[in-house]
C-alpha cells in the first residue's frame, strides 16, 4: 500500500487537501457514493491515512443505507466498534467533519474528483519513469482529460509520426496495382454466409472504415449484428470486440446462445424467452451444453465484451486501440449516441465523434460497426434514409456504409395498398444470376424486415433487401429484394 512518503514532495503537495475536498463532498451528500464507489478504491487511489479512513467509513455507512452523515448517525454506527470509534475521535470527531463540510459545495464534486484523478495520473507517470516534475506547473493548470490528451499527443508524435496529420505522396499507379485488383485485395471480410446479397453490394466488411447499422428502438439491431456480422467474422478466424453501453453481458449471452443454437446446431427448441424463464427440459439443457462446447471449440478467446457506463467516445477509442494491439481487428459499438443528449450541439458532437472513430479505424486498421437509433418521430416513414437518423444525418458523410432497417407493415404485404412486391433474380442454366426479376408472395404468418442500403462506397446505394426474421431464435434469412414506397 503506497503512502505519501513513496513520492517526491513536489507531486504530493496539497494531497491531503485534494483527498479531503473530494471525500467530504461525499460525506455532505452520501448519495454521491453511488457515482464514485466503482471508480475509487481506498487502498489504491488514496494515499493519506485520513483519506482512507474517512472514505471507507463513509462507504460502509452508505452501503447500510445512511442518507445523512450527521453527528448522531456517525456515533450510532461506530458504537461498539472500538477501533473505528477511537480512530474517529482521535481525528477530532464530528467537529472536524462538520467544519470541513461547511466550507465545501457538493456541486463541485466533479472538479474535486478530477483533481484527485489527475494527481493519481501524475504519480503513475512518475512511477513509469516520466519526468513529470520538470513540467509540473504546466500540468497543474490542466484537468485529467487535458493531461491524457497531452501525453497521447506526445506519444503519437514520437511513435506514429502523426503530428502533422498530413501525408503527401504520388497518385501514380505503382507496380503491383493491377495485380492487387486482380487478386481482389479491395474486398472486405465476407459475411456472405449470413447475408449474401448485402455482402455483395458492400463487398464485405472493410477495415479502416466505419459503417452504421440503424433502426428504431427494439427492431433487432443487436440481433442482426450478432447474426450477420459477429458470427461471420468469428467463422473466418478473426477476433472481434463488442463495446456496449446499454445491454449488459448476460443479455448479449442470451442472443449469442440463441444464434448458435439456430445457426450452428439447427436447433429451434429453446426460444430466447425460455432461456430466461428457466425450468429447462433435459433436451434443452443438453443443447445449451452442446452450444457452449461449439463456442469453446470455434470461438473461445476471439470474442471480447466491454461494458461502458456512458457514451464517452474517448473510452470507446481507448478500448479499440487496446484491443487492436491484441489482434482484435473488428469492433461493434452498440449504441452510438451523443454523450449529452440534451445538448444543443448534439448533432455536431455526433458528427465529430464519428470522425474520431474513422480516424481510429484508419490509424489502427480496424473495421468498426456502430449501431444507431432512428428518430422516434420518423417511425411513420416508409422509405428509410439518413434523414431518419436520430440526431445527426450528417454522420452519413463520414461512414463507408449506412444500413437501416424496419419491420414490414401490414399494408405492405402481398396484395395490399402498399405492396412492397418482393422479388429475386432468376438464375440461368449455369447457376449464374440473370437480370430477370421473379416476384414471390410473403407468408402472412411470418415476420419480415426491410433492410435499406442507403450508402455504400463499393456499389450503388438506394438498395432495399428483404429478410425473414425469427426473433425467438435470432435467425435472419435473406430472401430477396423489395420495392417499398416513398410515402410516409
Among residues 76, 51, 81, 79, which one has the least CA distance to residue 66? 76
Judgement on whether residues 143 and 226 belong to the same structural domain of the protein: no
- Which of 137, 160, 183 is where one domain is finished? 160
DSSP character string of 202-216: HTSB-TTEEEEEEES
- With a CB cutoff of 8 Å and minimum separation 6, the contacts of 217 are 373, 376
Q: pLDDT tens digits, residue range 320-332? A: 999 999 999 999 9
Half-sphere exposure of 450 (CA within 13 A, CB side): 28
How far apart (Å, rounded) are the C-alpha atoms in residues 79 and 96? 18
CA 177-181-185 angle, to 5 degrees, is: 105
Mean pLDDT for 86-112 is: 91
pLDDT value, residue 164: 44
Instruction: Based on the fold, state whether residues 378 and 422 are members of the same structural domain.
Output: yes
Answer whether 243's CB lies under 8 Å from 319's CB. Answer: yes
55 within a domain of the structure (yes/no): yes
Task: Please tell me whether residues 236 and 87 are part of one structural domain.
Answer: no
Statement to judge: residues 127 and 201 lie in one domain: no
What number of other Cβ atoms are within 10 A of residue 454's Cβ?
Answer: 22
Q: How confident is the model at residue 186 (pLDDT cuts 50, 70, 90)?
A: low
CATH number, position 84: 1.10.860.10
Buried b (16+ CB within 10 A) or exposed e, 458-471: beebebbbbbbbbb
* Domain assignment of residue 184, yes or no: no
Q: Which residues is 437 bridged to in the sheet?
A: 425
Mean pLDDT for the chain?
88
Cis before 335? omega within 30: yes
Backbone angles phi, psi at 327, to 5 degrees: 90, 10
pLDDT band at 349 (very low <50, low <70, confident <90, very high): confident
Residues 40 and 124 in one domain: yes
What's the structural domain count of the chain? 2
Q: What is the pLDDT of residue 488?
A: 54
pLDDT at position 152 is 82
pLDDT beyond 50 at 166: no
Same domain, 205 and 307: yes
Q: Is residue 473 part of a domain?
A: yes
**Contact call for residues 222 and 255 (beta carbons, < 8 A):** yes
In angstroms, the CA 3 to CA 205 distance is: 50
Q: What is the DSSP letter of 162?
A: -
Residues 22 and 149 in one domain: yes
Residue 189 lies in a domain: no
305 or 178: which carries more pLDDT confidence? 305
How does pLDDT run across 405-449, given as a tens digit for each residue?
999 999 999 888 999 999 999 988 888 888 899 999 998 889 999
The answer to whether 389 and 369 have CB atoms below 8 angstroms apart is: no
Instruction: Give me the pLDDT at residue 175, please.
Output: 77
Kindly provide the b/e burial profile for residues 12-34, where b requires at least 16 CB atoms within 10 angstroms of the residue's own CB.
Answer: beebeebbbbbbbbbbbebebbe
**b or e along 474-487 (b: 16 or more beta carbons within 10 Å of the residue's beta carbon)?**
bbbebbbbbebeee
In a domain, 39, yes or no: yes
CA quadruple 328, 163, 115, 118: dihedral, nearest 10: 50
Mean pLDDT for the stretch of residues 448-455: 94
Q: Domain boundary residue among 160, 186, 221?
A: 160
pLDDT bracket for residue 156 (50, 70, 90) = low
Domain boundary residue, one of 138, 160, 182: 160
Check which CATH number belongs to the domain holding 336 and give it.
3.40.50.300
Residue 163 pLDDT > 70: no
Same domain, 203 and 155: no
Structure-block grid coordinates of residue 265: 446446431
* CA 153/CA 160 separation, integer angstroms: 10
Q: Could you tell me the three cell numbers for 420?
A: 412492397
Supply φ then ψ for residue 405, to 5 degrees: -145, 155
Position 348 in a domain: yes
Same domain flag for 134 and 259: no
392 burial type by CB count under 10 A (0-12 exposed, 13-18 middle, 19+ buried) = buried
- Residue 182, domain member (yes or no): no
Sheet holding 401-407, edge to edge: 303-307, 240-244, 330-334, 367-373, 209-215, 401-407, 448-456, 463-470, 475-481, 423-427, 433-439
One domain for residues 145 and 216: no
Query: What sign has the CA pseudo-torsion 46, 47, 53, 54?
Result: negative
Q: Position of cell 435472419?
A: 476
3-state SS class at 406: strand
Residue 244 has pLDDT above 70, yes or no: yes
pLDDT band at residue 29 using 50, 70 and 90 as cut-offs: very high
Q: Quick check: is 328 in a domain? A: yes
pLDDT beyond 90 at 24: yes
223 neighbors 407 (Cβ within 8 angstroms): no
Confidence of residue 401 (pLDDT cuts 50, 70, 90): very high
Residues 86 and 231 occupy one common structural domain: no
Residues of the chain with pLDDT > 70: what percent?
92
For residues 143 and 204, membership in a common domain is answered with: no
Instruction: Tell me the average pLDDT across 107-132.
Output: 93
**DSSP H helical ranges for 156-281:** 177-182, 196-202, 221-225, 231-235, 249-259, 272-277
Domain region containing 280: 196-481
Collect all residues with Cβ–Cβ distance below 8 Å to 277 and sequence separation of at least 6: none
Amino acid at each position: 500500500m503506497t503512502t505519501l512518503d513513496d513520492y517526491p514532495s513536489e507531486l504530493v503537495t496539497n494531497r491531503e487537501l485534494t483527498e479531503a475536498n473530494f471525500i467530504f463532498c461525499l460525506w455532505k451528500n452520501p448519495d454521491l457514493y453511488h457515482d464514485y464507489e466503482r471508480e475509487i478504491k481506498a487502498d489504491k487511489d488514496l494515499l493519506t491515512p485520513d483519506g482512507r479512513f474517512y472514505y471507507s467509513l463513509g462507504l460502509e455507512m452508505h452501503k447500510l443505507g445512511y442518507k445523512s452523515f450527521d453527528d448522531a448517525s456517525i456515533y450510532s454506527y461506530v458504537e461498539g466498534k472500538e477501533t473505528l470509534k477511537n480512530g474517529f475521535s482521535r481525528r477530532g470527531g464530528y467537529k472536524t467533519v462538520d467544519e470541513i463540510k461547511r466550507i465545501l459545495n457538493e456541486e463541485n464534486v466533479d472538479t474535486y474528483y478530477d483533481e484527485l484523478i489527475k494527481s493519481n495520473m501524475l504519480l503513475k507517470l512518475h512511477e513509469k519513469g516520466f519526468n513529470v516534475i520538470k513540467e509540473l506547473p504546466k500540468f497543474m493548470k490542466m484537468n485529467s482529460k487535458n493531461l491524457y490528451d497531452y501525453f497521447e499527443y506526445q506519444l503519437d508524435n514520437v511513435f506514429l509520426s502523426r503530428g502533422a496529420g498530413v501525408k503527401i505522396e504520388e497518385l501514380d499507379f505503382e507496380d503491383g496495382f493491377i495485380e492487387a485488383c486482380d487478386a481482389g485485395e479491395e474486398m472486405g471480410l465476407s459475411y456472405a454466409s449470413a447475408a449474401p446479397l448485402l455482402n455483395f453490394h458492400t463487398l464485405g466488411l472493410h477495415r479502416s472504415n466505419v459503417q452504421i447499422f440503424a433502426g428504431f428502438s427494439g427492431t433487432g439491431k443487436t440481433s442482426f449484428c450478432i447474426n450477420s456480422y459477429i458470427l461471420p467474422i468469428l467463422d473466418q478466424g478473426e477476433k472481434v470486440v463488442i463495446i456496449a453501453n446499454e445491454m449488459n453481458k448476460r443479455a448479449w449471452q442470451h442472443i449469442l446462445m440463441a444464434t448458435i443454437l439456430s445457426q450452428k446446431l439447427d436447433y429451434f427448441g429453446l426460444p430466447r424467452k425460455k432461456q430466461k424463464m428457466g425450468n429447462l427440459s433435459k433436451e434443452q439443457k443438453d443443447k445449451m451444453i452442446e452450444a457452449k462446447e461449439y463456442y469453446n471449440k470455434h470461438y473461445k478467446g476471439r470474442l471480447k465484451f466491454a461494458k461502458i457506463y456512458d457514451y464517452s467516445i474517448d473510452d470507446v477509442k481507448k478500448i479499440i486501440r487496446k484491443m487492436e494491439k491484441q489482434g482484435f481487428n473488428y469492433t461493434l459499438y452498440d449504441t452510438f449516441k451523443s454523450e449529452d443528449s440534451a445538448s444543443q450541439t448534439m448533432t455536431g458532437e455526433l458528427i465529430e465523434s464519428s470522425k474520431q472513430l474513422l480516424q481510429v479505424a484508419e490509424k489502427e486498421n480496424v473495421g468498426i460497426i456502430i449501431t444507431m437509433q432512428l428518430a422516434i418521430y420518423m417511425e411513420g416513414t416508409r422509405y428509410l434514409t439518413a434523414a431518419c437518423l436520430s440526431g445527426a444525418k450528417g454522420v452519413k458523410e463520414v461512414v463507408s456504409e449506412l444500413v437501416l432497417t424496419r419491420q414490414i407493415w401490414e399494408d405492405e404485404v402481398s396484395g395490399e395498398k402498399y405492396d412492397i412486391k418482393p422479388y429475386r433474380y432468376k438464375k440461368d442454366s449455369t447457376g449464374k444470376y440473370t437480370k430477370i426479376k421473379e416476384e414471390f408472395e410473403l407468408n402472412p404468418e411470418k415476420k419480415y424486415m426491410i433492410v435499406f442500403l442507403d450508402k455504400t462506397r463499393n456499389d450503388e446505394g438506394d438498395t432495399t433487401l428483404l429478410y425473414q426474421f425469427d426473433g425467438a431464435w435470432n435467425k435472419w434469412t435473406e430472401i430477396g429484394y423489395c420495392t417499398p414506397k416513398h410515402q410516409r
